[in-house]
Every structure is written in C-alpha cells, then in structure tokens.
A and B are shown apart, each in its own frame.
Chain A
Amino acid sequence: MNRRAWGFVAALPPLVALGWAGFAPIELPTRDKLFEIPKGTYARRMAGDRVDILPSRITLTLGVDDVLLLRNLDEVPQQFGPTILMPGQSFRLPFERESENQFDCTAHTSGTMTVIVEAEPEWPWQKVRWRWRHWFQEG
C-alpha cells in the first residue's frame, strides 16, 4: 500500500466517528436524568458534614434528557422546590422550554439547586458538543 492509501485508511475512522457524532440522532434509553438523595443525608447534615451530595447545577437537554427524576432514599422527608419528598418517594419533573430554574433543596448545603434546560441539539456541531459533554464531562 502506498502512502496515500495509508493516509486514507488512517483518516477514515476519526472521520466516520466525527460524522456519526454530528449526524446520528441522540438517543438515550430514557429521558429521565436520575439523582438520588442517599440514605443518611440528613444525619450527615446534622453532624456538620458540608460535602455536597448532589451537584448544585444540573444541565438537561430538551428532547434528550429533559426529565429530572429525583429520588429520596433518605429516612426523612426532603424538600425539592415546590414539593416534599417523603422517604422512598420520587419526583419526576419534565421540562419543555429552555430555561434556568432555581429550586430550594434541603439536600444541598447551599439550600439551592439550579436546573439549566438547554435547547435540543439540532445541528451537527451541537450534537458533537452534547456527546463530548455527555461522555467526557458527565462520565
């Protein structure tokens, strides 16, 4: 194989990957983005633990993962925004518009959780950016 052919072979996989990342529809098994308030959260707070158990900022994407699912696994009720989550109860909140929302949240040391709702990625570079963040920044 000559040098041109090797170049062709070497360039193909990343190009296919980039093309796929830009053009393939973004699909997840569920639109729910789950966050759990673990057992013992209240006890840790009362013991003076200031470590944040949940992220203080959550980003959702319309049409992809635009439903916040919060589950209270603690032994005591926890308040999230407009509702009180009893032990074992979950709250599934869908979003339909781009927005930035602040919710009171007793599971946070700051007492607040920010939920940012982004537009659905439509253009190839938006899909690439979303996949990059999803795979490499959110783990």
Chain B
Amino acid sequence: MNAVLLRSWLLGISLALAVAAPAASPPAAPALKAGVLSPVMPAPQLALDGTHGKPLDLSAYRGKVVLLAFGFSNCGEVCPITLATLAGARKKLADAGKDVQVVYVTVDPERDTAAQMKKYLASFDATFIGGVGTRAQIDAAQKSYGISSTKNRNPDGSYSIGHSSSIYMIDRAGGLRAVMPYGHTVDDFVHDLKILLRT
C-alpha cells in the first residue's frame, strides 16, 4: 500500500470517527415489557363458573390488576411454568401483590372440574381463581380472547392440549391493557405490574 493510500485511509477513518463520536442518547425503551393495546378497550367478560364457588365475573375485580391466562391442569410444560411465574411475581410484589388477581381458565373442560382446578391452582398460590364451564362456554371464552387450542391424542389413548399461552393484563378499570407473551420472567411481570398498579 503506498503512502498516499495509507494516509487517505487513516484520514477517512479519523473523519468517520469524528462524525460518529457525538452519539446522542439511545432511544427510550418501551414502558411495558408486555405488548400494549391502544386505545384500551374493556376486557371481554367471561360467562364461566369460578373455582371460588361463584360465577366468574371479571368486573368483580375492578380496582385490582387481573392476570388472565388459559391452560389446563394436566399440562406438563407451559402451564406449570406460567403459574409458577405468576405466583413468583405476586410474592415478589409483597403487599402490592394483594391487588393482583390471577384468573386461569381451563381449555380442557372434559377433565377440569372446579374441584380439580382449585386444587391444581392452590399448589401454586391459594389466591388464584380458575374458570371452568361447559365446552360451549369455554369455546366462547377462548373466542373472545383469540385463544386457540388443539387436542393431541397420544398412542396410549390419553391426550394433551396445545394452547395459546400468553397472559392478558387487565387494568384496575377493567380495560384490556396488555398481553405478555409466554416465556417472560418473574422480574418482567413485576416490572409491568408495578406500572399497572400505579395507574
């Protein structure tokens, strides 16, 4: 490489670095880690029975933040992780966790009775409330939130269910504010719940 070319390379790189140096601060990060719906619309109501022995009425939880998810008690992978994460978030929020209500609706009404769901959910957090009902009621609930589920038959005759695994975040006013995709950590939920509990 001759001297002129070398000098031009060095000068070019120096100029580029000089131009690049005064970097502005990076753009602000999004407020919530969950996906945010805007404008906020009322969360669809559920016509189901609750595992607490009453009809499951989401409007009864106005003033609290509701975390709504769908699953089933025989789920081997997704549901235990989701429920353990939500229980961990409530625990980490300490006193503020009292204003967080987890509602878990079954996608397996053939096997999930109210008693079965109650026992299952209590193994994670005794305050969790399950939603159960007939196949038609569950189908309607799934449709109103855009939940899909597919029954997969095993060779031994048993079955498992593949299902949407996001968690719906309903604010204190009953608005469907955000949707947290599956796979987020306890800290991510705590982060978002602190924001939702402030508003």
Chain A interface residues (CB < 8 Å from chain B): 4-5, 7-8, 11-12, 15-20, 22-25, 27-31, 63, 67, 79, 81-86, 88-94, 96, 104
Answer yes or no: B36 CB below 8 A from chain A CBs.
yes
Task: Please indicate the chain B residues that have their CB under 8 angstroms from the CB of A22 in the complex.
Answer: 16
Contact indicator A92/B30 (Cβ below 8 Å): yes
23 contacts between A and B (CB under 8 A): A4-B4, A11-B12, A12-B8, A12-B15, A19-B12, A19-B17, A20-B19, A24-B16, A24-B19, A24-B23, A25-B20, A25-B26, A27-B26, A29-B27, A79-B146, A83-B166, A85-B37, A89-B37, A89-B38, A89-B41, A91-B35, A91-B38, A94-B33
User: Which residues from chain B contact A31 at a C-beta distance below 8 Å?
Assistant: 27, 29-30
Given known contacts A82-B166, A92-B38, is B16 in contact with A18 (CB within 8 Å)?
A: yes
Residues of A with C-beta under 8 A to B13:
15, 19
Nearest A residue (CB) for B32: A94
Q: How far is the CB of B164 from chain A (nearest CB, A)?
A: 6
| A93, B35: Cα distance in complex, Å | 4
Complex Cα spacing A82 to B68, Å: 12
In the complex, how many angstroms separate the beta carbon of B21 from the nearest chain A beta carbon? 9
> Which residues of A sit under 8 angstroms from B24, Cβ to Cβ?
25, 27
B179 within 8 A of A: yes
Distance of A39 Cα from B15 Cα, bound (Å): 48
Interchain CB contact under 8 A, A16 and B166:
no
Interface of B is mostly: mixed
- B148, CB-defined interface residue at 8 Å: yes
**A139 CA to B36 CA, complexed, in Å:** 27
User: Are A23 and B20 interface neighbours, CB within 8 A?
Assistant: yes
B76 adjacent to chain A (CB < 8 Å)? no
Closest Cβ neighbor of A11 among chain B residues:
B8
| B7/A8 in contact, CB under 8 A | yes
Within 8 Å CB of B181, what residues of A? 81-82, 93
CA–CA, A30 to B27, complex, Å?
7
- Cβ-defined contact, B164 with A15, below 8 A: no
Minimal beta-carbon separation of A49 from chain B (angstroms):
23
**A82 contact from B17, B38, B39, B164, Cβ within 8 A:** B164
Sample of 15 more A-B contacts, CB < 8 Å, known A11-B5, A15-B12: A7-B4, A7-B8, A11-B8, A11-B12, A15-B13, A16-B15, A19-B12, A27-B23, A27-B24, A83-B179, A86-B41, A89-B41, A91-B38, A93-B35, A94-B33
Closest to A92 in B: B36
Nearest chain-A residue to B3 (Cβ)? A4
| Neighbouring B residues of A83 by C-beta, 8 Å | 35, 37, 145-146, 166, 179
With a CB–CB cut-off of 8 A, which chain B residues contact A23? 16-17, 20
Residues of A within 8 A of B15 (CB): 12, 16, 19
